[in-house]
């Protein structure tokens, strides 16, 4: 049964990424999803994989357990590998399906061979020490090992050299012959069009065409209007048809070469060629009525944005803009002062007031609920653990062990955890509303007085700003690794996703990525001739405005008020 998308739309926060997609993906065929950068291809793949849910509309897979039978291979294979050996990585999805040992090993061997990897040669190797093309093959092997009903490949040939790309194409053709339903998001039309049973063209999140590839050449210039170029064999074919050298457009580079072989190529203007009349370029008007039967006409009317900003939305956006454009020195002062006041808070009232203040600022800072959940989720088990630790007491005195709940401990521990959570939230608010350059300039200003005492403050500020930039980067990497686990059949959500096994699986690749990033960063700093003893050109000249003075007064007022309340 085909997969049916009905009126599927998706938004990242306020920005629409996909609009009202109606598409049928034929079973057992290869669908090519094309469009310029940012047109929504990866988003559509993530919706098809079940990793994200459409904001509106529905996807009907026509089989009971849809999520277990879809596998996705992301654009960057590095982010999808996590196990210690290629074999373990490929077997992960099978393990999730509780496939018993001898069958698991056989299935992994078969998948590796199908993906063009010799199990003997690659099985025990570390997936992190392979070339880009090999990594992608490991990802494909891992994705096909559980025999998914639907295989999604995001830019599978990106970054590969021509032989690696050709080998990957052969793998895709082999999988197609094996009956897999495949959707490939790609810019590489030359490679994938000849394999495609269906093409879907996306532009600005809307579907402009879906149907057989040759339908694209009969109708209006859909590809060109979507900002794409037809594959080279079509461009050459059109040129030759205009010169009368071809009767019909070829269906691939191979067919074009086969057609050309027995003919002599004639240059235009040589006078020796056949009349161009037979191969005259058909006008768009004459052909638009003959577009392929299954082809869907372009969706022309641009969607009107249904969520036009209401009053409260625009006020929030305005507040977010003010927070983001505030002088970073105000933010550094606010963070330092409020953190100090927070550390002195011992009772519920001031902590509750600070919680309200931070929550309001987070909401005004334009930080979406999804982003906040993404940030806080890793901290929740730790906070819960710390709180439980303080709420229960254990004593082994007098030979009799006792384990008791202490309400006093629970309250004190709860307040301490809340304090910690608020400190983390201040950091989150600060880094979310301040980009790299102002953050670093503000920090350098804050610690400049120490420079007069002989402290090498530039090294400090560089280290702190890099560390602060690292936090969102590391959280992003954790999310990517979680997605990698989810894409192979482990789709637990919420706290259940953070099992010790999941954490142990993520630890090694995360560490490797952090080390790799640190290495690249230090090389980049060195390559730019960084010398802490030399005066430097500031990245940004800070300028103090009236609104910064007003914000500073509010910061001081809030700090004084909270300090007073904590002392009452």
Ligand X SMILES: Nc1ncnc2c1ncn2[C@@H]1O[C@H](COP(=O)(O)OP(=O)(O)OP(=O)(O)O)[C@@H](O)[C@H]1O
For ligand X, the binding residues (CB under 6 A) are 12, 15, 17, 35, 37-43
Beta strands in 322-386 (DSSP E): none
User: Which residues 6+ apart lie within 8 Å of 443 measured at CB?
Assistant: 328, 332, 461, 464, 465
- Whose Cβ is closer to ligand X: residue 371's or residue 491's? 371
Q: Which is nearer to ligand X, 227 or 278 (CB)?
A: 227
Closer CB to ligand X, 190 or 548, in the complex: 190
DSSP type of residue 40: S
- Return the SS3 of 230: coil
Choose between 39 and 425: whose C-beta lies nearer to ligand X: 39
Per-residue burial over 469-507, b = 16 or more CB atoms within 10 Å of its CB, e = otherwise: beeeeeeebbebbbbbbbbbbbbeeeeeebeeebeebbe
Q: How far is the CB of 431 from ligand X (least distance, A)?
A: 17
What are residue 403's DSSP bridge partners? 394
User: For ligand X, which is the closer residue by CB, 43 or 69?
Assistant: 43
At closest approach, how far in Å is the CB of 133 from ligand X?
A: 19
Minimum distance, C-beta of residue 225 to ligand X, in the bound complex (Å): 16
Annotate 270-298 with DSSP letters as a single string: SS-SPPGGGGPPPPHHHHHTT--TTPBPP
Q: Which is nearer to ligand X, 19 or 41 (CB)?
A: 41
CB of 277 to ligand X, least distance (A): 41
d(CA 182, CA 185): 10
User: What is the dihedral angle through the alpha carbons of 248, 249, 253, 259, rounded to the nearest 10 degrees?
Assistant: 10
Min dist. Cβ of residue 36 to ligand X (A): 7
Considering the complex, what minimum distance in angstroms separates the CB of residue 263 from ligand X? 37
Smaller CB separation from ligand X, 43 or 296 = 43
Rank residues 179 and 476 by Cβ distance to ligand X and give the closer one: 476
Nearest-angstrom CA–CA distance, 482 and 492: 10
Q: Taking the complex as a whole, how short is the minimal distance between the CB of residue 203 and ligand X, in angstroms?
A: 10
Q: Are 216 and 222 in contact (CB under 8 A)?
A: yes
Could you tell me the two tokens for 22? Answer: 């109606």
Q: Give the integer Cα–Cα distance in Å for 116 and 108.
A: 12
CB of 37 to ligand X, least distance (A): 4
Q: In terms of CB distance, is 307 or 526 closer to ligand X?
A: 307
d(CA 502, CA 499): 5
Quick one: which of 35, 37, 57 has its CA closest to 48?
57
Instruction: Name the residue nearer to ligand X (CB basis): 376 or 383.
Output: 376
CA 183 distance to own-chain centroid: 18
Quote the least distance from Cβ 55 to ligand X, whole Å.
12
Q: Give the 3-state secondary structure of residue 435.
A: coil
DSSP 297: P
Cα(90)–Cα(86) distance, rounded to whole angstroms?
6
CB of 13 to ligand X, least distance (A): 6
What minimum distance in Å lies between the beta carbon of 41 and ligand X?
4
Nearest approach in angstroms of CB 253 to ligand X is 23
- Closest to ligand X by CB, 132 vs 292, is 132
Strands 150-154 and 3-12: unpaired
- Quote the strand ranges of 193-294, DSSP E: 198-203, 206-211
Distance between CA 111 and CA 143 in Å, rounded? 9
Count of alpha carbons within 13 Å of 478, Cβ hemisphere only?
18
Q: How far apart are CA 426 and CA 502, in angstroms?
A: 28
Non-local CB neighbours of 376 within 8 Å, separated by 6+ positions: none
- Closer to ligand X by CB, 201 or 334: give it: 201
Work out the angle at residue 213's Cα, subtended by the Cα atoms of residues 212 and 217, and round it to the nearest 5 degrees.
115
Alpha-helix residue ranges (DSSP H) falling in 401-456: 407-433, 436-451
CB of 11 to ligand X, least distance (A): 9
Closer to ligand X by CB, 226 or 236: give it: 226
Beta carbon nearer to ligand X, 11 or 242: 11
CA 468 to chain centre: 20
Comparing CA positions, the residue from 357, 345, 355 lying closest to residue 412 is 345
Smallest separation (angstroms) from ligand X to the CB of 23: 15
The C-alpha angle 502, 503, 508, rounded to 5 degrees, equals: 110
């Amino acid at each position: 049964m085909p997969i049916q998308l009905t009126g599927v739309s998706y938004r990242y926060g306020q920005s629409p990424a996909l609009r009202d997609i109606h598409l049928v993906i034929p079973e057992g065929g290869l669908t090519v999803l094309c469009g310029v950068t940012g047109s929504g291809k990866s988003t559509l793949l993530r919706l098809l994989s079940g990793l994200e849910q459409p904001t509106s509309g529905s996807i009907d897979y026509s089989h009971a357990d849809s999520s277990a039978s879809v596998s996705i291979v992301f654009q960057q294979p590095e982010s999808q590998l996590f196990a210690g050996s290629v074999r373990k990585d490929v077997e992960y999805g099978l393990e999730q399906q509780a496939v018993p040992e001898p069958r698991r090993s056989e299935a992994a061997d078969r998948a590796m061979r199908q993906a063009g990897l010799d199990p003997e040669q690659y099985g025990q190797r570390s997936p992190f020490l392979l070339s880009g093309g090999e990594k992608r093959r490991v990802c494909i092997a891992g994705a096909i090992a559980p025999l998914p009903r639907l295989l999604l490949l995001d830019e599978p040939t990106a970054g590969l050299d021509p032989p690696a790309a050709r080998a990957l194409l052969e793998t895709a053709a082999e999988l197609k012959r094996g009956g897999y339903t495949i959707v490939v998001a790609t810019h590489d039309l030359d490679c994938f069009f000849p394999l495609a049973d269906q093409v879907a063209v996306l532009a600005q999140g809307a579907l402009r065409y879906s149907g057989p590839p040759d339908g694209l050449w009969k109708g209006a210039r859909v590809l060109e209007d979507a900002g794409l170029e037809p594959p080279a064999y079509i461009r050459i074919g059109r040129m030759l048809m205009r010169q009368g050298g071809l009767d019909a457009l070829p269906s691939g580079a191979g067919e074009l070469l086969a057609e050309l072989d027995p003919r002599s190529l004639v240059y235009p203007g040589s006078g020796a060629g056949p009349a161009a009349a037979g191969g005259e370029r058909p006008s768009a008007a004459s052909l638009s009525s003959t577009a392929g039967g299954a082809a869907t006409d372009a969706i022309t009317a641009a969607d009107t944005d249904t969520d036009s900003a209401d009053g409260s939305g625009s006020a929030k956006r305005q507040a977010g803009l003010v927070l983001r454009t505030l002088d970073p020195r105000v933010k550094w002062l606010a963070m330092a002062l409020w953190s100090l006041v927070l550390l002195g808070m011992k009772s519920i009232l001031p902590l509750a007031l600070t919680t309200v203040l931070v929550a309001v600022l987070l909401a005004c800072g334009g930080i979406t609920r999804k982003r906040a959940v993404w940030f806080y989720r890793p901290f929740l088990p730790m906070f819960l653990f710390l709180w439980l630790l303080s709420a229960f007491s254990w004593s082994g005195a007098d030979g009799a062990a006792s384990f008791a709940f202490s309400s006093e401990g629970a309250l004190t521990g709860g307040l301490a955890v809340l304090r910690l959570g608020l400190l983390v939230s201040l950091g989150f608010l600060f880094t979310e509303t301040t980009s790299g350059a102002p953050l670093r300039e503000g920090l350098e200003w804050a610690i400049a007085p120490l420079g007069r005492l002989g402290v090498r403050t530039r090294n400090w500020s560089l280290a702190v700003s890099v560390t602060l930039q690292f936090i969102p980067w590391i959280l992003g990497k954790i999310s990517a690794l979680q997605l990698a686990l989810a894409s192979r059949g482990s789709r637990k959500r919420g706290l259940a996703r953070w099992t010790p096994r999941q954490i142990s699986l993520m630890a090694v690749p995360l560490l490797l990525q952090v080390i790799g990033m640190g290495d690249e960063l230090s090389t980049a700093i060195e390559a730019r001739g960084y010398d802490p003893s030399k005066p430097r050109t500031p990245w940004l000249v800070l300028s103090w405005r009236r609104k910064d003075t007003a914000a500073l007064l509010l910061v001081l007022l809030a700090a004084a008020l909270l300090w007073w309340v904590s002392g009452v």
